[in-house]
Amino acid sequence: MALLIRNARVYAPKDLGITDVLMAAGKILAVGSNLTVSLPDLETVDAKGKILTPGFFDQHIHVNGGGGEGGFASRTPEIMLSELVKVGTTSIVGVCGTDFISRSIENLLAKVRALSIEGVSAWMYTSNYRFPCTSMSQRVAQDLFLVPECLGVKIALGDHRSSFPRPDEVLHLLSDIRLTGMITGKGGVLHVHMGDIPGIFDMFLSFEKGGFPIRHIRPTHCSRKCEVYEGSLEFARHGGFVDYTAGFSCNGSTANDITEAIASGVDPTRITMSTDGHGSMPRFNEKGEMIGLATGGVGGLLDTVRDLIGNHGMDPSLALTFDTTNVADALGLKDQGRVETGACANACLFDENWNLTDVVSKGRFLMRNSEVIVKGTFEE
C-alpha cells in the first residue's frame, strides 16, 4: 500500500516548508511540492496545518527489561510496542544492563526481532555491564559479524556495579570492534555506560592521543553527574560523540545539557540523546547502598524536543537532529532519522503546538488522530 501525505510543514529535519511526502514498500519514494502520483491502493492524507518530522531514534533502551539490583522483584518489565508509538519513537537500539545472568543477549535479540516484526526499526548492542564481555557466540566480534541487528558492544565503566578492565584491555576491545565494523560495513561502536568514578574520559582521550579514532567510543549517561558532564564536553570538542539521557540531568534538564554544550563550543552534530527506557533507576547513598528504585520512561526524547523548541527557542531543524539524523549518522544508518527519498518511511505528525497526533513507521500508520491503532502482539 502507498501513502501520500500532502501539505505538511516538513522538517526533514531541515525545514522544507509546505511539502508532500510519498511512501511505499516501507520507503520514502518522493518529497516535493504538489506531487502528481498514480499508484494502485494509494491512500492520500491531507496534513494541512500539521508539522511532519522524522520518527525519533532511541539508541539506548532496555526493550527486554533491565534492573535486578534490588533482588528478583526489582527486574523491570519488557517494553510494549504501544509505549514507543505514543511518543513517536520508530527506531531503537536495545541494550542489556547490570543483570548479566538472567537477561541473556539471546533474549535481547529475540525481543529486538519481535519489535521489528510488530512495526518499528530495531537493532541492538551485544554484552552488558560486564568485562570480559558477554556474547552469543565465542566473542563479541563474532556477534557483530554474524548478527545483522548487532551494531556494537555495550560495557559499563567507572561504575561501582561495573567491571574494572585495564586501559589496554579496553583498547584491545575497541580494536576488535573497529576492525569488525570495517569488515562488515557497520559503524562499529563501543557503547559505554558512564558511571560516577572519574578518569574514564581521560582514558578515552589518551587513546585518541595514541592514534585511535575516538568516533568508535560512544559514552552515554553523560550528564547524570556534573563531573561526567564536564568531561563529556572536552571529549566532544575532540570530535567524540556524547549521548545525554533524556530526563536525567545535573543541569536541570536535558535541554539545558544540550544548549550549554553548544554554547561551550561543542559541534551540535556530535550530540545525541536517548531515554534508558525500561532500565532501572536506582538511587544510592554515599556508601553505595541502594535506597530507592524506579523504572525509566520512554518519552524523554519527545519531551526534550518540545523543551528545546518551546522554552529555549531553538529552531526545530536543529532541535530535532539530536534524536534523528545525529543518532542515525553516528551509527552509520543513513536511511534512518530523515525525511528524504530512499529513507525508511518513518514520520511523526504534530499539530501547531507540537502535540503528537500521528505516527508512521515503515510506511504504516501506527497512531492516527492521537490514538494508537497498531499494538504489540500481547497488548489488549
Burial of residue 260, with CB atoms counted within 10 A of its CB: 0-12 exposed, 13-18 middle, 19 or more buried? middle
Q: Check the annotation: does 172 bind a ligand.
A: no
Grid-cell match 554554547, residue found = 263
User: Fold match between 2-53+337-372 and 56-330?
Assistant: no
The domain covering 2-53+337-372 belongs, at the CATH homologous superfamily level, to: Urease, subunit C, domain 1 (2.30.40.10)
Residue 281: other Cβ atoms inside 10 A: 17
Domain ranges, ordered by start, for the chain: 2-53+337-372, 56-330
Phi, psi of 321 (to 5 degrees): -65, -25
Q: Is 276 among the catalytic positions?
A: yes
CB proximity list for 61: less than 8 A, separation 6 or greater: 79, 92, 93, 94, 95, 274, 275, 276, 277, 278, 279, 298
pLDDT by position in tens, the chain (length 380): 899 999 999 999 999 999 999 999 999 999 999 999 999 999 999 999 999 999 999 999 999 999 887 788 888 899 999 999 999 999 999 999 999 999 999 999 999 999 999 999 999 999 999 999 999 998 999 999 999 999 999 999 999 888 999 999 999 999 999 999 999 999 999 999 999 999 999 999 999 999 999 999 999 999 989 999 999 999 999 999 999 999 889 999 999 999 999 999 999 999 999 999 998 777 778 877 777 777 789 999 999 999 999 999 999 999 999 999 999 999 999 999 999 999 999 999 999 999 999 999 999 999 999 999 999 999 97
User: What is the dotted CATH code of the domain comprising 56-330?
Assistant: 3.20.20.140
Quickly tell me which residue has 551494531 as its cell: 151
How big is the chain, counted in residues?
A: 380
Catalytic residue among 20, 257, 276, 358: 276
Please state, as a whole number, how many other Cβ atoms lie within 10 Å of the Cβ of residue 134. 21
Would the annotation count 224 as a binding residue?
yes
Q: What is the pTM of this model?
A: 0.95
Q: Does residue 193 have a known ligand-binding role?
A: yes
DSSP per position, 236-289: HHTT--EEEETT--TTSSHHHHHHHHHHTT--GGGEEEE--BT-B--EE-TTS-
Q: In whole angstroms, how far apart are CA 36 and each of 142, 253, 313?
A: 47, 44, 36
